[in-house]
Chain A
Amino acid sequence: MIELANIRKAFNQGRHNEYWALHGIDLSVEAGKVTAFRGPSGSGKTTLLTIVGCLSRPTEGRVRFKGEDISGLPERFLTDIRRQSFGFVFQQFNLIKGLSAVDNIILPGMPTGRSRRNLVERADELLDQLKLGHRSRARVEWLSGGEQQRVAIARALINDPQVIIADEPTANLDTALSREFLAILEGFTAAGKTVLLTSHDPLVVESSAVHRVIGMRDGRLTAD
């Protein structure tokens, strides 16, 4: 599904505070599986996730997505691929305050030019599946943490992506809610989606819902 070859990523290139977050990563991600990256903060797992998810471009190295080399693509096309094939769930949920749950969920669908009715229908469907149908018109800041995360998950699914990317999905959830998230994760696998996530929550990385755990340290992969 996704293949990385010798990926390196630098920040503040050419300046005195130049810093390499990734030092030559080689990785192949299997379709339909849940892959977790584990490692201390600053190990480069989030940076790696942004490259895999087409949020940023590697400074060096090749990225192939479904057999196609996408490493040199300008932002315009990378965004195109991203919004068609990737859905994102962030640690802070990153919902837009002041908008209702549904209005947040349809945001990624807006640039695709789908009609509003079509998008809202799909959003309601997703919220029903996530058992949040009754709060669909509530403003997101009135929702609880768990509810907010489900809105964020529905938002990640609105364009029906093949790959879900989740950055520290359980960091802001208690144990019960984390277990709920793992159940949703199993639902993704059942639906044939590929999931990539970062976590240092033992509940997640040791769960049976996760098929593969990759360790990271200092911008390098350590072991599976």
Chain B
Amino acid sequence: MRPWLEKQLHLIDFTLASLARRKTKNVGLLLAYTLIVFVLASLSLFTHALRSEASYVLAGSPEVILQRMVAGRHDLIPPGYLDKIGRIRGVQKKEGRLWGYYYDPVVNANYTFMARPASEVADGTIMVGSALARERGLAPNNTISFRSYAGKLFGFTVAAVLSPDSELLSADLVLLSESDFRRFFEYPEGHYTDIALSVANPQEVRTVAAKLSAALPDSRPILREEVLRTYQSLFDWREGIVLTVLAGAILAFAILAWEKASGLSAEERREIGILKAIGWETGDVIRMKVWEGLVISLTAFLLGGIAAYVHVFHFGAAVFAPVLKGWSVLYPRFTLVPAVDGLQIATLFFFTVVPYTAAVLVPIWRAAITDPDAVMRA
């Protein structure tokens, strides 16, 4: 074990020295490698952050939302509708929800108004999302007035600003009491926007949905898992498309690596010849070259990965945001919550280190089989 370890240490030693001796040649390759890792890692970190943001948003939402349809359009839930559902096994809670959109001409933005029970939000007060608070310069105990769609002016006191943990969730949210909501929008008494049902066992969600459709044929149940799936596949698909576009770049990089590895300079060829002549074996040279590849890969992986992390989570993925963000452009400021997982790193590894290694294997072998007596014949 010990001699084996010593030998590997020697090989790494020699590799590092030889990389240092050929800085200019290796810096070019390292830059290209780092760039590839950077681009791919940015892409993957960014889409993953969007995905986790989406699932974070949805985690707090009810398992099933029931909308009433009139002529194929989403309509208000009439009084008594909630009772028609009756008891369905597996449904823990059902409640009518009240929410709507409000256009604020002051900042040209849409807010989501949502009614909460009076126990949470007192009449005459509101809680606002952080983005909204920022835009309108609001702090707790400030007052703000909104002109309703009917033209009346309503004044509210800000009770609290919602935590900015996940901006996607609450950026544009305004929470107000149920009676305030009904007065502000002149919402007919007893009507609701939709119905939220919580189902404890995820296995039963589909059954519940089927029962709902049967009991209320004019309704449309929306399952949380379906929304989640839509988000997931949408982001995956976008990532896949960009990746395909980048496949050309990966291929170009592999060709560059192949070219660099096979285009040994006369000096390198001579060195390998010397090593072979003085007692290095083909296997030793291959191992030394494999270490070299590992050192380069690891460096590029680390540099590219860190750069991508900074790019995505500190600069909002300036390069990719337009392609990948899609509808999220609606949100004024959108800081991603840093999220990295093993799958991304493993995938990134497969897209960079594997093509690199495959590209340099044959050139490495070619270099390593230099005849030991070559230096004497020259």
Contacts and interface: CB of A to CB of B under 8 A. Distances in A.
- Among B21, B277, B376, the most chain A Cβ lie within 10 Å of the Cβ of B376
Contacts of A159: 279
A76 B372 CA distance: 12
B371 interface: yes
A69 B252 CA distance: 50
A115 B9 CA distance: 9
Contacts of A47: 377
B11 interface: yes
B279 A83 contact: yes
A94 B284 contact: no
Contacts of A111: 7, 10, 279-281, 284
Contact of B278 (A91, A107, A116): A107
B270 to A, nearest CB: 8
Interface stretch (A95-103, A127-135, A186-194, A209-217): A95-103
A116 B281 contact: no
Contacts of A91: 376
A85 to B, nearest CB: 10
A115 B6 contact: yes
Contacts of A49: 376
B64 to A, nearest CB: 67
A91 B4 CA distance: 33
Contacts of A112: 3, 7
Nearest to B372: A55
Interface in A139-186: 155-156, 159, 167
A82 interface: yes
Contact of A82 (B274, B279, B284): B279
Contacts, number: 94
A97 B351 CA distance: 36
Nearest to B2: A113
A76 B283 contact: yes
Contacts of B371: 55-56
A98 B271 CA distance: 11
A116 B372 contact: no
B373 A50 contact: yes
Given A96-B271, A111-B280, A116 B376 contact: no
A45 B10 CA distance: 34
Interface string A96-128: 111100010001101111111000000000000
B58 interface: no
Contacts of A88: 277-278
Interface in A53-87: 55-56, 75-76, 79-80, 82-83
A94 B274 CA distance: 6
Given A113-B3, A116-B13, A94 B375 contact: yes
Nearest to B8: A113
Nearest to A51: B373
A49 B377 CA distance: 11
Contacts of A82: 279, 372
B228 to A, nearest CB: 55
Contact of A110 (B2, B10, B372, B375): B10
Interface string A195-208: 00000000000000
B278 A155 contact: yes
A50 B13 CA distance: 29
B86 to A, nearest CB: 80
Nearest to A107: B278
B107 interface: no
Contacts of B9: 116
Interface string B309-341: 000000000000000000000000000000000
B319 to A, nearest CB: 39
B42 interface: no
Contacts of B5: 113
Given A56-B372, A94-B274, A98-B21, A114 B3 contact: yes
A197 to B, nearest CB: 12
A46 B377 contact: yes
A90 interface: yes
A63 B373 CA distance: 17
Contacts of A155: 278
A76 B275 CA distance: 14
Given A56-B371, A56-B373, A90-B375, A76 B17 contact: no
Nearest to B279: A83
B264 to A, nearest CB: 14
Nearest to A114: B6
A55 B277 contact: yes
Contacts of B4: 113
A112 B7 CA distance: 7
A112 B6 CA distance: 9
A47 B21 CA distance: 32
Nearest to B369: A75
Given A75-B282, A111-B7, 4 more contacts: A76-B283, A79-B279, A115-B6, A156-B278
Interface of A: 46-47, 49-50, 55-56, 75-76, 79-80, 82-83, 88, 90-92, 94-99, 103, 107-108, 110-116, 155-156, 159, 167
| Smallest CB-CB A-B distances: 8 pairs | A113-B3, A83-B279, A110-B10, A50-B373, A55-B373, A79-B281, A98-B21, A108-B279
14 contacts: A46-B377, A55-B376, A75-B282, A76-B281, A79-B281, A82-B372, A94-B273, A94-B278, A96-B274, A108-B279, A110-B14, A112-B3, A114-B3, A115-B6
